[in-house]
Amino acid sequence: MAASEEFLTFPPQDALRLEPHLPPAAGAEGAGRITQDGRRRPFVTLTFATSLDSSLALAPGVRTALSGPQSKAMTHFLRSRHAAICVGVGTAVADDPGLNCRLAAPADTAAAAAAAAAAAAAAATQHRHQHQPRPIVIDPHGRWALGEDSKVVQLARAGRGLAPYIVASAAPPAKRRELLESIGGKYLFVAAATSEAGNGVARFRWADVLAAVAAEGLDSIMIEGGGQVINSLLAPPDSSLIDSVIVTIAPTWLGQGGVVVSPPRTVDGSGNPAPPMRLADVSWHPLGEDIVLCGRISRSSE
């Protein structure tokens, strides 16, 4: 990466506005959560950027930039405050994401950033940012062909990010597993369940995924996408696992046919539409030309 791309900054006053929606500090009371079946799970933040028509991308597999520079820096700030960052295999295949944090440490200055970039050429393998999240990639069927040229592998080897943990249901090819383990990553094996849609497609239960993440000592996770991951998490009863929602809304329309955030509609026992899901404790924050919406899923008792 170019030196100018190494570090981003996020103003302290903007960070303070987000504080009520962030996970507790590692090790603090409430940093982890307990599911209904008594298993540990991490604090879950759902965050993504969307257009005015609730689209994430122009089409499946098409990388679409939505966030402006200020909200992009916010994303890296959020990554710095979570132990893990999670995407689905579709995002991993389409975007080849780095899944690291490029936020400058609070004491960093432009001069310090330049000096760090110059030193990286001589000591890249020893440099590690102090706020790197653990990438988690959900890949039930082994679609992600992780290789030496994958950005996340290159960043891990350069000490600019952590190696990913891949949530899978079956053993991967031996060479792929050896590569992952050589950079400090691993596979987390979780049993897949048949989709409730009855189409024979296997998917993971979110409670199982989060329990596997918690078992690795990760007490907070930021779930970024893509569309299938977001919609599945927003579908009841899994929506009850979300602790915080942070959405960047860009001032643009992507039009019909895109990847849309729209979880399945639920019905009650009589087949009537259930009450719509809402956010509570809502706050709105302008960042450049974008608007950031923060809140939490309103529980039925509220």
Which pLDDT tens digit goes with each residue over 51-68? 999 999 999 888 899 999
- Give the pLDDT of residue 27: 55
Bridge partners of 103, per DSSP, are 8
Cα 282 vs. chain centroid, distance in angstroms? 21
List residues bridging with 168 in a β-sheet.
189
pLDDT at position 268 = 82
DSSP conformation letters of 41-62: EEEEEEEEEE-TTSEEESSTT-
Average pLDDT of 162-168?
Answer: 97
My answer on whether omega of the bond before 226 falls inside 30° of 0, hence cis, is yes
Strands 259-260, 279-287: parallel, antiparallel or unpaired by DSSP?
A: unpaired
What global pTM score does this model have? Answer: 0.86
Give mean pLDDT, residues 241-254: 97
pLDDT in tens, 277-297: 999 999 999 999 999 999 999
At residue 111, the pLDDT reads: 43
- Reading the block at residue 11, the tokens are 């103003």
Confidence at residue 33, expressed as pLDDT on a 0 to 100 scale: 79
Burial of 173 (0-12, 13-18, 19+ CB in 10 A): exposed
Residue 165: is its pLDDT beyond 80? yes
Q: What whole-number distance in Å separates Cα of residue 205 and Cα of residue 68?
A: 33
Band of pLDDT at residue 262, cut at 50, 70 and 90: very high
pLDDT per residue as tens digits for the range 178-218: 999 999 999 999 998 765 544 444 589 999 999 999 999 99
- Give just the sign of the alpha carbon dihedral 55, 58, 59, 62: negative
CB atoms within 10 A of CB 271: 6
Cα Rg of the chain (Å, integer): 19
Report which of residues 4 and 237 the model is more confident about. 237
